[in-house]
Amino acid sequence: MSMGERPYKIVIGLEVHVQLLTESKLFCGCSTKFGAPPNTQTCPVCIGMPGVLPVMNRKAFELAVKTGLALNGEIARFSKWDRKNYYYPDLPKGYQISQYDLPICRGGYLDIPAEDGEGTRRIGIIRVHLEEDAGKSMHDEKAGRADSRIDLNRAGTPLLEIVTKPDLRSPTEAKTFLTELKLLLNYLEVSDCNMQEGSLRVDANINLHIPTDDGQYVATPIVEVKNMNSFRAVERALTYEAQRQYEAFLETGHKLGDVPKQTRGWDEDAQITRPQRSKEESSDYRYFPEPDLVPVTITEEELERIRATLGELPAEIRRRLQTTYQITAYDSDVIVNQGRAFVDYYCRLAQGCGDGKMAANWVQQDVLRTLNERQWTIAQFPVSADNLAELLRKVRGGELDTAKARMVFAEMVEQCCSAGEAIQRLGIVQVDEGELRRLCEELVAANPRVVAEVKAGKDKAIGSLVGQAKKRNPNINPARVKEICLELIQRQS
Amino acid sequence: MTSLDRFPFDRCASELLVALRVGHVTSEDLVQAALAQIEKYDPHVGAFLAVRGEKALDQAREIDRRRARGEKLGLLAGIPVAVKDNLCMEGEPTTCASRMLANFVPPYDATVVARLKAADAVIIGKTNLDEFAMGGSTETSAFQKTRNPWDLERIPGGSSGGAAACVAARMVPLSVGSDTGGSIRQPAALCGVTGLKPTYGRVSRYGLVAFASSLDQIGPLAQSVEDCALLLEVLAGHDPRDATSINRPVPPYRELVFQRPDAIKIGYVPEMLSDGVSPDVVRTMEETLNVFRSLGAEIREVALPHARYAVATYYIMACSEASSNLARYDGVHYGYRTDEKAMLAELAEERRRLQQEGNLAALDDLDTALVRLYRKTRAEGFGAEVKRRIMLGTYALSAGYYDAYYLKALKVRRLIRQDYDQAFERVDMILGPVTPAPAFRIGEKINDPLAMYLFDLFTVSANLAGIPALAFPAGLSTEGLPIGVQLQGPPLSEERLLQMGYLFQQVTDWHRRRPPLIENDRLLS
């Protein structure tokens, strides 16, 4: 159901946690690499042994500032750390070092493509702050036993918590937001936002505004939805939950404030949300300023220095590609989604061959397909932008038709050679214009029935002449043959 | 081995270093002497929780060998040192005098321990303390009492009671303690030894099992001010592993201590010598002021108007931070864990009973196994005082109370600091008592926590303000018990305090008095 058709308005806010791409954890020197054997990337500090102390990772702080700037937020010139106290086995100190009332960034927004394809929607950000991640607990329920296993490799990993305003109006929009956020954070080299590896986690707060007869609306109780493991799961979970809330409202009439905030977990197998006993129920985290860490101040100079490292961001790049190279929004999307290196390749190619649209087609189809087939990155791609540009120029100039150009391209990929070399190796010889003309004259003369059909309006019939020309000489340019034959036929009548 | 005094540790460390250097004595001799003294007197005093005799002797012999080879040695080469058992030492149990950490062996050294090792000091053993440094009498230790060498029926003070007692009993010349609300200075004063709480951040806290992070500091105890200066120089300095440690060079305290400071103005607060303070303490204070006058210091009255809020402020802040710092002791990752089988059986039995009763509400509320593990581990692992402080702290930080207690305490703390800042515009240092009375009897206050807390009234302010304070013996009570006084100064004014303390000890001999236990070599039957 699209937004316009529903009998209610959906209100969604997201709480996103992303792991930062730093070498080491937020408060100690342990590695943050994913996939190591359990409890091998730990030290007394992140295990929370008696007597240890945290020391702040500057790089993590810079990445947080970078993100805040890219999200157009207000960076706090003075921010501090706080302890969030609760007991759980994956939180070895019994508290998490986080930021409570003076987060590194407040406000800001991210523009996302509107669902209807027209323009963008501005999604507000409430705050961005840094905190350390907890470890992982796994429940090992073999026959008769019910052990819990704790892996502290993840404990202490720097997390950025990004909280949006409840500005999202549909599950699809929520998914789009996450996609756009991931793209931005990839470009900033802040996080790889990989949900499968846990470097991006998201919880959603959702409720409905249901219109009443008097033109007002009633708000349903807010539900927090957790345990969504992919962007698609987010979309499906929120779609399910919205409908469930509507049905629940029709049945119970509960409004916001009537019942306490519920937490529900998404069950991927059953495709439903279930109530969860929230592990910290009416949780009082007893926040207080972290006495082991000094507050962080940032000067205007440092802020500008960090701002200068942002680089061109996806939204700007999209706009630039569209205006400079005359390509569609869709094309620019595909290109930008592949990352900065791919964008650079495309631009060089477009400039080199002089036709942005043609370049866009080639990178989206031929280049991207090859990269995917061979599991290459653009950096590993053996055909340089300059070499591909040369090939495309030949196509534009009429020297090669598209079919032949694809053969040449394949040869260039295989042999890591230039377009000229590939053409030679394949034995493609350009047919001289005069020879081409003579061939066409012959074919036109030899095929009066085809000529009659074309004259009668069946342009497609020309294909048979082209086919015959190809058989006579595989090096002919089919498009050129078609042009010449049509011209000859026209002149006849 | 050449002949030594009856108590080699009557000599101060710098004298012993000379004797070692010229070969009058070896480090092995000193360690043997320490071990002999400990063997003789510690069964009565109970200063040590652990003595690492064999390892210490091995270390001493190695240092002797290196010295013989002419190698360069550290500042404390060959000197026996005792370390409070809340400082982590790699490979050695660090118990904090608690059942909770009875089996805890750290895989790393505290920074100060590493510095002691780098200075070639020989760590003899770990000393007793109040559990997790929470207390003022060393009575809350889960393992043993420490007794004041001056009167074995009395407390040695706390929480660094063991560290003070072992120096007083001439077992070692130097020890390292920690001071959160007076825990170096108070036992120093009650045991007749010298102790220093440095400026907050002067000494790295990495490896000190945290009690109250914004108040804890590590410092030296010794018989003399110059020994404290020497040990401070070894302990102090910036540590990249402690974000609160001060990044400033360490002055050569061991040399500066002998310099005579220029015209010094010493302040005192008259209110501190009024009722509630024992006449012995008042008399000692007055005599000390006279001594300083005779040394050329100008004496002035100063005011610290918010001092009367100091104990309340301290206990709110310290307990709040402690409630968080001690949350990690939950039986999951290290340390004591309750007997799981018994715990699970107990829980199963409760569940059965409630099911039988049909008490659905209680069943719903019943602890999960995890929560029951936490509850029992902490109930069994912690002593009463620790639990009391955790509860106080949790309360002070909880929603609805944070503003009235913790936040308010933060504000008053600032005012207390401002009092000192203003006072130090008029004087260079402030002289005051350390305790309102000499050592009380063991058991006298243990059931009256508030009375125990009020005994801290003179020491907590220095921790709240983050300023340095030097405590040294300045008299004896009519019953012959030591009375100490303290000099407090602005941040990073340790040199000046040490210099004044040294001058005092040049013209007095309180610091050379020996407890009767040692003096008369009389053992209590």
From B327's Cα to the closest Cα of chain A, the distance in A is 5
Question: Which residues of chain B lie closer than 8 angstroms to A153, CB-CB?
Answer: none
Contact of A279 with chain B, judged by CB distance below 8 Å, is answered with no
Chain B residues with CB within 8 Å of chain A CB: 86-88, 94, 96, 101, 104, 106-108, 110, 205-210, 212-214, 240-244, 320-321, 323-324, 327-328, 330, 332-334, 370, 374, 394, 397-399, 402, 406
Which residues of chain A neighbour B242 with C-beta distances below 8 Å? 53, 55
Q: Which residue of B has its CA nearest to A47?
A: B333
Mean pLDDT of B448-460: 91
Q: Is the pLDDT of residue B171 over 60?
A: yes
Q: E strands, A70-157, where? A: 74-75, 78-79, 82-85, 95-98, 105-106, 109-113, 120-132, 136-140, 147-151
DSSP 8-state symbol, A198? T
- What is the average pLDDT across A471-476? 83
Q: What is the pLDDT of residue B520?
A: 78
Nearest to A129 by CA among A158, A101, A154, A162: A162
CB contact set of A119 (below 8 Å; sequence gap of 6+): none
Q: What is the CA radius of gyration of chain A?
A: 30
Query: Does residue B49 carry a pLDDT above 60?
Result: yes
Residue A154 DSSP class: G
Q: Which of B130, B128, B144 lies closest to B84 in space, CA to CA?
A: B128
**CB distance from A93 to chain B under 8 Å?**
yes
Rounded distance between C-alpha atoms, residue A139 and residue A141, angstroms: 6
Mean pLDDT of chain B: 95
Q: Which long-range contacts (CB under 8 A, 24 or more apart) does B273-280 make?
A: B273/B433, B276/B436, B277/B433, B277/B436, B277/B437, B278/B436, B278/B437, B278/B438, B278/B477, B280/B437, B280/B438, B280/B475, B280/B477, B280/B478, B280/B483
Strand A9-19 relative to strand A120-132, pairing: unpaired
Q: Check residue B2 and give its pLDDT.
A: 43
* pLDDT exceeds 70 at position B522: no
Identify the pLDDT of residue A424: 83
Distances (CA, A) of A402 to A386, A405, A461: 18, 5, 21
Pick among B111, B205, B325 to test the A interface (most A CBs inside 10 A): B325
Give the tens place of pLDDT for each residue, A85-113.
999 999 999 999 999 999 999 999 999 99
Residue A229 pLDDT > 90, yes or no? yes
CA distance B390 to chain A (A): 13
Q: Among B207, B330, B398, whose Cβ lies nearest the Cβ of A284?
A: B398
Rounded CA separation A387/A66 (Å): 36
Q: Which segment of A251-260, A346-355, A365-374, B240-249 scores lowest on mean pLDDT?
A: A251-260
pLDDT at position B3 over 60: no
State pLDDT tens for residues B97-132: 999 999 999 999 999 999 999 999 999 999 999 999
A80: left (phi over 0), alpha (psi -120 to 50) or beta: beta
* Exposure letters B420-431 (e unless 16+ CB within 10 A, then b): beebbeebbbbb
Regarding predicted confidence, which is higher, A145 or B265? B265
pLDDT of residue A145: 67
| Contact predicate B315/B453, CB 8 Å | yes
**What is the mean predicted confidence (pLDDT) over B521-525?**
52
- Residue A431's pLDDT is what? 77
Residue A311 has a CB neighbour count (10 Å cut-off) of: 13
- From B200's Cα to the closest Cα of chain A, the distance in A is 12
If one compares B261 and B7, the residue with the highest pLDDT of the two is B261
- φ, ψ at B162 (rounded to 5°): -65, -40
Q: Which residue on chain A is closest to B246 by alpha carbon?
A: A294
Higher confidence at residue B523 or residue A304? A304
Residues of B in contact with A53 (CB under 8 A): 205-206, 241-244
Question: Which tops the pLDDT comparison, B523 or B155?
Answer: B155
CATH fold group of domain A433-492: Arc Repressor Mutant, subunit A (1.10.10)
| Other CB atoms within 10 A of residue A297 CB | 11
Residue A323 has pLDDT above 50, yes or no: yes
E runs forming strands in B238-349: 265-268, 298-301
**Does residue A179 surpass a pLDDT of 90?**
yes
- Separation between Cα atoms, residue A408 and residue A397, nearest integer Å: 15
The C-alpha angle with vertex B282 and arms to B280 and B285, in degrees rounded to 5, equals: 110
Q: What is the mean pLDDT of chain A?
A: 92
Name every chain B residue with its beta carbon within 8 A of the beta carbon of A47: 333-334
Whether residue A49 and residue B106 make contact (CB cut-off 8 A), yes or no, is: yes
- Say which range, A6-10, B91-95, B373-377, has the weakest mean pLDDT: A6-10
- Measured between CA atoms, the residue of chain A closest to residue B211 is A51
Measured between beta carbons, the chain A residues lying within 8 angstroms of B399 are: 284, 286
Q: Any idea of the CA torsion for B283, B286, B290, B292, to the nearest 10 degrees?
A: 110
Q: What is the pLDDT of residues B177-208, one digit of tens each?
A: 999 999 999 999 999 999 999 999 999 999 99
Q: Which residue of A has its CA nearest to B396?
A: A286
Q: Which residues of B touch A49 (CB under 8 A)?
A: 106-108, 333-334
Summarised one tens digit per residue, pLDDT across range A72-89 is: 999 999 999 999 999 999
Using CA coordinates, name the residue in chain B closest to A57.
B243
CA dist A256 and B289 (Å) reads: 70
Q: Do A87 and B208 touch (CB under 8 A)?
A: no
Average pLDDT over residues B499-523: 89
User: Where in chain A are all domains bearing CATH 1.10.10?
Assistant: 433-492
Q: How far is Cα A388 from Cα B349, in angstroms, rounded to an integer?
A: 77
Q: Is the pLDDT assigned to residue A490 strictly greater than 90?
A: no
Name the percent of chain B lying above pLDDT 70: 98
Q: Average pLDDT, stretch B460-464?
A: 98
**What's the N-to-C CA distance of chain B in angstroms?**
32
- pLDDT classification of A43: cutoffs 50, 70, 90: very high
pLDDT over threshold 50, residue B524: no
Q: How confident is the model at residue A278 (pLDDT cuts 50, 70, 90)?
A: low
The residue among B409 and A424 whose pLDDT is bigger is B409
Highest mean pLDDT among A216-220, A486-490, B469-473: B469-473
Cα(A277)–Cα(A270) distance, integer angstroms:
18
Q: Three-state DSSP class for B322? A: helix
- pLDDT value at position B92? 96
pLDDT value at residue A3: 53
